[in-house]
Amino acid sequence: MHFSLQCSLPPVITALCPQSKSFSHEPRHHRIKKPISHVPKSPLCSTTERALIHQCIEEEEEAFDGRVEDQTLPLGLRREALPRHVAVIMDGNRRWARLRDLPVGSGYEAGVRSLRKIVELCCEWGIKVLSVFAFSSDNWFRPKVEVEFLMSLFERGIQEDTGIFLRENIRISVIGDLARLPKAFQELIINLEEATKNNARFQLIVAVSYSGHYDVVQACQRLALKAKCGLIEPSDINESLIEQELETKCTEFPYPDLLIRTSGEFRVSNFMLWQLAYAELFFAQSLWPDFGEAEFLKALLAFQKRQRRYGG
């Protein structure tokens, strides 16, 4: 793609070198920079004037570069400063419904629409992993009718979106105590994970029947079993071995850079307790169904302003 940029030259240069009023440029990655000596030598243009022309070209190139590289990003976002892994506690679905005198299920359905929008934005902006807290281990204590509705909503969502995941090169991973899920749902998850395991554009990790406590406990149990079988010694157990047994071993980027929690609550609610050790936290006032592009952008801009020290 070619772009034409107009370079305003000082009047004296325009008068002396009329052939140099404008310059046609391609994006820098399509162009080889030419030294000053390659500027056409007019008998009326002195060395100083040709240097000024060259300087004008350079200034136009520098102003243009930022627009080329990040043309898919909203104003203010820097690609090199984006989080690779964003985790979200999608809170406020029930409150959203009650504020509108709607059934609780309507809040969850609206929440699914918000999730689809955030997934779309992550793919568009280049974020590699999104983890969402969809159903906590503690949520099993909610009314049976609500739990059954959520399970059916999850199943329906997978069935409706499988084609999109395959077409858009999205990998799906589901973490948590899946043994507690309905058998049909378990089979659906296994098939979806297998069908998308080689997709590399973006990974969506859905935490269902999950808690941070559960994750650490199951990792310890796996290591204990390995020790019992003589595969490792108890003294071998360290942070690295524990991390290899956590549920987030399913991704290249297991530690969220940014955690977003919606609905004005200021806690992590037993989500990825080990993995969030050095994550930046952002608490949004919006209820999850109202969380959209503007709110997501605000969280990412806030993240880019943080200085991550990792305890140093």
> In the predicted model, is pLDDT for residue 78 greater than 70?
yes
pLDDT digit string, tens, across residues 266-278: 999 999 999 999 9
pLDDT given for residue 55 in this prediction? 61
Residue span of the structural domain in which 271 resides? 79-210+253-304
> In the predicted model, is pLDDT for residue 103 greater than 90?
yes
Residue 23 lies in a domain: no
pLDDT given for residue 308 in this prediction? 84
pLDDT band at 46 (very low <50, low <70, confident <90, very high): low
Domain match, 198 and 270 both: yes
CATH code: domain of residue 285: 3.40.1180.10
Domain match, 227 and 202 both: no
Residue 309 lies in a domain: no
CA distance 93 to 85: 23
pLDDT given for residue 62 in this prediction? 47
DSSP state at residue 9: -
C-alpha angle with apex 171: 169 to 172, nearest 5 degrees? 140
pLDDT given for residue 164 in this prediction? 96
pLDDT band at 72 (very low <50, low <70, confident <90, very high): confident
The amino acid occupying position 183 is K
Residue 105 lies in a domain: yes
Q: Catalytic residue at 70?
A: no
**What mean pLDDT is predicted for residues 223-234?**
97
> In the predicted model, is pLDDT for residue 12 greater than 80?
no
Domain match, 268 and 221 both: no
Catalytic residue among 91, 161, 215, 257: 91
Domain count, the chain: 2
Domain match, 109 and 238 both: no
Length of the chain: 312
Domain match, 205 and 218 both: no
Residue 268 lies in a domain: yes
